[in-house]
Each structure stands twice: as structure tokens, then as C-alpha cells.
A and B are shown apart, each in its own frame.
Chain A
């Protein structure tokens, strides 16, 4: 017991050590941005905007992985003194991370609801811009073992359908399609992300899954898409915005204008995204 009391001091010392460590982690990106600016000016950029330099951190919905990776390298090519750091995850995960202090400069969400959450936390600089839409489609294994050709086919007995849970955007969309068509699905699994749905279909575990058009395009020949007209009843709008706490708002604005500009539109359209 005596020992325990004597060690309160050590405990306090340990506490201050932890606090110190936390302080160190509070200023990310500062080092890399100064490193970026030192090399600025030497490269003759074709960009019409004033010389941009530094690192811009973009938090984007998982479904934007392919397109934003491409756009980020285009951005870096146009602005040689810049570096784009990308972080992909479910939109609601990203909102949680940003509200907890993650160093994001740009946030691109897969739905307006999650952008609204960030806006409610007063972390959206100005107004978000809608830059893409995405609709649901039916994904089936290449051989289409259950012969799915319409949305109604998904409700046939014995068909193993996998959808997103209603808590996530793709599941909410699936529910509105169900309502619009009057078809009630009996899924064998309600996944928490659209990539999990796609995985169950591409591995052949499920006969069909409801995913986004862009997911089917991105999966190549591992799955086949079965479009259905009722999908127009439910589409997601993708907004993008600068995060209020960003220290590189010029870079953030430049990246957003690339995404919403003609180059961005082309890359997004190639991947199957629609125009809002």
C-alpha cells in the first residue's frame, strides 16, 4: 500500500508524458508543406493559376478511389510543386475522422447526408458543390447462375441476394428502389459497405447484389452488371467541399475546381458517374 502511494508521482509524470506526445501529433502536414514550397518556382508550370505548392489532403468516399487517384496525379502533373495525399473510406467514417480533428483539406462525400453532418459541425468552408451522381445496378457473377435479368428476379425464391444495410447510403437507395417497385427482397446478408456486397458477388457466394454502376465498371470482368430501369428512383449525389480547418485553402480550391471542371467531368464520366 505504501508503494502505491509513493508512485502517484510517477503516475502523474506518465500522464504528462502522454499529454506531451499528444501535443506533438497536433501539427501534421506542416513539415511537408514547407518542403514543398522550397522547390517551388524552379519548375515552369503551364498552369494559369499562381504557383501552387504544398500538400493537399483529400478525404474521399471509397467509391471515388479510382477516379480521385487519377485526378490526383493529374493535379500533381499540372502543379509540380504540390502533392496530393488521398484517404479513402466510407463517407460516415471520414466525417467522424474529420470532426475528431483529422487533417483533411478537401472532403468528397458519397451522399449529401454525410456532407450535411460535416456542415452541421461547422467544418464546411462555404458551400459544397455537387459534382457527380451514382445509381444502383444489379451485380451478378459472370456466369449469372440465377439468371437474373430484372429487379423482380431478385425476389425469386432461392436467389441469394446481398444488399447494403439500410444504415449506409447504398442500402438506403436499395430500400427506395424496393418501395418504388413494390418488390420485397429477402437478402441473405445486409453488408455495411458496398465493397463487401461486391466481394460476396465476385467470389460467387451470392447470386446477385445491389451495388453502384461505378462498382461494376471498376470490377472489370469479375462481375456483370444487370441494369434495371427502376434504378432511376434512387441515386446518390456526391458533394465536395473545402474543410474549414484547412491550412491550404488555395490548394483545396484548386483541387475542387479540377474535380468539378472539364477534366474531372471526363474522368468521372468514364468511370460511370452521372452528372448532377
Chain B
């Protein structure tokens, strides 16, 4: 048997920590009106909100991948002046209250905003559109991808890339054939975390995008609204959101575990 090296009292505190998270979830499940559960979660507004949430989260995850990989590479591979500052700013949405993010986005992409005015002249209107939802979700989701990927890149090191370069491979080929495959588990878990964070995004969306069924009212906003009049519906939808999040996160955390072994051997 492996020696775990964990003092026994640690299990006690771990149990409290675990209960602290599980108990509220259990309390919520206990509150569910099961007789009404199916009609509540399959109502038109619920399904529309769920569909919108999944579509916008998928789009924002794609944006996070497209811009997060380069950001993580820049931060992980070569030190430069102001790098720590850049990292601090990229990670800021992790600790920023989402409402603050929403206000910041409003002053950037809003009608009176920094870029919004020029965009409006070009005929592009972001406020109150699904695009605004995706932007808000990308804003809060991006740091998750960058953090996971930067860690993976640092752990993997760059020896294989150096070898590939001496063999004559071009930088883009190295990125595509060596770097990205090596950090794929880290990239996958980062993408999943971004997706999960996007799915739960509330504050920035409410502040920046508004709330209209089928356009900007994602599942968290629908829950917030339903809670005003129909607590049963709010709880039922909350469970749906929890279930989707658990499925997504659960699926992703199994995969990197297996793939970790060759990655670690490589490092």
C-alpha cells in the first residue's frame, strides 16, 4: 500500500471542507418540486435559456482558445519587460467582481464606449446582442485557459521544441506539431474551465448585455428572474445548471489524468 503521508486530522478538515460545498447543493436538491420538475425545466423560456447558454459558452470557449493559446505562449516562453504586469492584468478577471467586468466592457463596447462609437459608425451594434453575451463570457473565461495552459507549458519545458528547431522545423510547424500536442491535456482542461465559467457567467452579462429571451437571457439570468416569482422554477433550473457543469467538468478531469503520464515522462 502506498504511504499517503497525510496526517489523520487532515481528513477531518477535508470532510468539513467537502461538506461545506456539498451541503448547500444537497439542500437545493431537497427543495426541488419533483412533480413539477419536468414541466418547469422543459418550459419554452427554460429551454431557450439553456440553448443560448450552451451556444454562447461554446463560442466564448472558442475565442478563449484562439486568443488564450498565444497569450499563454507569450507569458510562458520568453521573459520580457512588463511580463509580470501583463500576466497580472490578464488574470484580473479571475478576482474582479463580474459586475465590474460588465461596467468595463460597457465603457469599451457600449454605444458611448471607447470602441463602441467607431463600431456603431461601422454599423456594428454590440449592446443588447448575443455578441455582447459572448464578449462578457470570454472576458471572464480567458484567464482560466491562460493559467492552465501557461502552467502546462512551463511544466513541459522547451527541449523538444529546441530539438525540432535544430532539425529544421519552422516555428509554426513546431507550435503545431510539438508544442500544442504536448500541452493538449492542459489546453483541454483550461478550455473546459473556461466553458464552465462562461456557463455560470451572470454579473457581467446582466450589466453589459441586458436580458431578453432568446437573445441575451442565459440560464443564470433566467434563474435570477424566475426567482422573483417562481422559486420552484428557479431551483429546478439551478439543478440543470449544476448538472451541466458537473458533467462538463467531470468529463474533462478524467481525460488529462490518463494523458498526464506521457506528458510527465516527456518532461
Q: How far is the CA of A56 from the CA of B229 in the complex (A)?
A: 29
Contact status B207-A168, CB under 8 Å: no
Is the C-beta of B16 less than 8 angstroms from some C-beta in chain A?
yes
Is the C-beta of B60 less than 8 angstroms from some C-beta in chain A?
no
Is the C-beta of B15 less than 8 angstroms from some C-beta in chain A?
yes
The A-B contact count (CB < 8 A) is: 87
Task: Give a binary string over B9-39; 1 marks a CB under 8 Å from any A CB, 0 the rest.
Answer: 1011001100100010000000000000000
Contact status B206-A205, CB under 8 Å: no
Q: How far is the CA of A54 from the CA of B16 in the complex (A)?
A: 37
Interface segment out of the listed B66-74, B105-113, B147-155, B167-175? B105-113
Is the C-beta of B48 less than 8 angstroms from some C-beta in chain A?
no
List of B residues within 8 angstroms of A49 by Cβ: none
CB-nearest residue of chain B to A13: B12
Is the C-beta of B91 less than 8 angstroms from some C-beta in chain A?
no
User: Given that A165-B211, A189-B210, A190-B211 are contacting pairs, would A205 and B128 also be in contact in the complex, using a CB cutoff of 8 Å?
Assistant: yes
Secondary structure at the B interface, as helix, strand, loop or mixed, is: helix
CB-nearest residue of chain A to B231: A96
Q: How far is the CA of A6 from the CA of B11 in the complex (A)?
A: 10
Contact status B228-A92, CB under 8 Å: yes
List of B residues within 8 angstroms of A90 by Cβ: 228
Contact status A165-B127, CB under 8 Å: no
Q: How far is the CA of A205 from the CA of B226 in the complex (A)?
A: 25
User: Given that A205-B127, A205-B128 are contacting pairs, would A162 and B225 also be in contact in the complex, using a CB cutoff of 8 Å?
Assistant: no
Contact status A14-B221, CB under 8 Å: no
Contact status B207-A199, CB under 8 Å: yes
Expressed in whole angstroms, the minimum distance between the Cβ of A41 and any Cβ of chain B is 45
Contact status A14-B225, CB under 8 Å: no
Contact status B216-A189, CB under 8 Å: yes
Task: Give a binary string over A179-205; 1 marks a CB under 8 Å from any B CB, 0 the rest.
Answer: 000000001111110001001100111
Expressed in whole angstroms, the minimum distance between the Cβ of A175 and any Cβ of chain B is 13
List of B residues within 8 angstroms of A15 by Cβ: 19
Expressed in whole angstroms, the minimum distance between the Cβ of A114 and any Cβ of chain B is 10
Interface centre among B209, B213, B227 (most CB of A within 10 A): B227
Contact status B225-A10, CB under 8 Å: no
Interface centre among A90, A204, A205 (most CB of B within 10 A): A205
Expressed in whole angstroms, the minimum distance between the Cβ of A213 and any Cβ of chain B is 22
**How many residues of chain A are within 8 Å of chain B by beta carbon?**
31
Is the C-beta of B212 less than 8 angstroms from some C-beta in chain A?
yes
CB-nearest residue of chain B to A200: B210
Interface of chain A residues 49 through 100 with chain B (CB within 8 A):
90, 92, 96
Q: How far is the CA of A96 from the CA of B225 in the complex (A)?
A: 14
Is the C-beta of A25 less than 8 angstroms from some C-beta in chain B?
no
Chain B residues within 8 Å of A, Cβ to Cβ: 8-9, 11-12, 15-16, 19, 23, 106, 110-112, 127-128, 206-207, 209-213, 216-217, 221, 224-229, 231
Given A188-B128, A189-B211, A189-B216, 17 other A-B contacts at CB below 8 A?
A7-B11, A7-B15, A10-B11, A11-B15, A14-B12, A17-B16, A18-B16, A90-B228, A92-B229, A96-B231, A190-B217, A192-B206, A192-B224, A199-B207, A203-B110, A205-B112, A205-B127
| 24 examples of A-B residue contacts, CB within 8 angstroms | A7-B8, A10-B11, A14-B15, A14-B19, A15-B19, A18-B16, A165-B211, A167-B225, A167-B228, A187-B212, A188-B127, A189-B216, A190-B211, A190-B217, A191-B210, A192-B206, A192-B224, A192-B228, A203-B110, A204-B110, A204-B112, A205-B110, A205-B111, A205-B127
Chain A residues within 8 Å of B, Cβ to Cβ: 3, 6-7, 10-11, 13-15, 17-18, 90, 92, 96, 160, 162, 165, 167-168, 187-192, 196, 199-200, 203-206
